[in-house]
Amino acid sequence: MTSTARPRAIALWLYVVAALVFAMVVVGGITRLTESGLSMVRWEPISGVVPPLNDAEWHAEFEAYKAYPEYQKVNRGMSLSEFKAIFFWEYLHRVLGRFIGLAFALPLAWFWVRRAIPEGYKPRLLALLALGGLQGAIGWWMVASGLVDRPDVAHDRLAVHLGAALFILGGLVWTARDLTAHAHGERRSHLTGFAILTLLVLAVQIILGAFVAGLNAGHAFAEWPLMGGRFFPEGVEWLEPLWRNVVDNPVVVQWVHRWWAWIAAALLVLLSVRTSRESGGSAPRLVLLLLTAQIILGIATLLTGVALHVAVAHQAVAALLVWAATACAHGLGRPGYRMR
């Protein structure tokens, strides 16, 4: 019996969805940096797709926003046109999220009906779909934290939201590469211990970056490599218990993010070298290129006082680095196999 499985087509589709997730991360970064995330104060998964279409609807949306802390404590007196500017980015972020959901669910259903999904991949694809749905709920859970007393989203929830997005991105890339290997009659890859360590250290660095963004910690010291002229700045107000400083203290979070980066960088270089030796391909070189760009952008983000375009580029390259590092980890788990 002739197989109807289409691993190449499914892999290509997953890469397209991964590119959309990357775009979502970039738009999410802009939304955060322009402080647009609290402009939509209701979660309406279906009706929320339609934006305000006339003056009356815009005024109603604006009045709803005025009832919440961000307007009352930060943006009191802003004009309707200024509100529309921040509304745009949050609206785009939410609509793009819904579009990604459809871009995953509808082709998945088509491939399923056509019996095009290779054996063993259905549970993984369903898990990715479920994670996408959960991400929407996490997004609202994050926004809701800024609609109560504090006119800002909770930085820990922001970190969960970003981390989940990049975990989905990694899952899409890994599955696409497994399917490409399947198309060539090769077995699936596996995560080596070293790859797990490297990806975990990279994940910690990204979570720390989300903490920096959520706490506005990037503004604490606009200099590098020192902070206040010292390796560790003077006059830090310590929180109790001590562990909270790595999560909640802007100065300490920025300091840890600065220096944990070098641990992540060292492991990523080793991952690149090992993968190049074991399986070759373009991913190892891409990791080194992106890592260099990310270090430069991280320093530039500080020195420019978190300039919008630089900070957005920093987050974008972080997402691309996750993509490339995942590809490297996949190659390392398949010694002698060069991904075509």
Annotated binding site for heme: 257, 314
Q: Are 210 and 159 in contact (CB under 8 A)?
A: yes
Annotated binding site: 257, 314
Distances (CA, A) of 197 to 204, 235, 246, 263: 11, 34, 20, 11
The alpha-carbon radius of gyration of the chain (Å, integer) is 22
- Name the nearest CA neighbour of 169 among 260, 100, 99: 100
CB-based contacts of 225, cutoff 8 Å, min separation 6: 258
Name the residue among 55, 76, 75, 175 with its Cα closest to residue 118: 175
Distance CA 95, CA 45 (A): 9
Q: Amino acid identity of 175?
A: T
Query: In a 3-state reduction of DSSP, which class is residue 215?
Result: coil
Helix ranges restricted to H, 34-113: 55-66, 69-73, 80-113
In the numeric block, the tokens 């926003």 are attached to 65
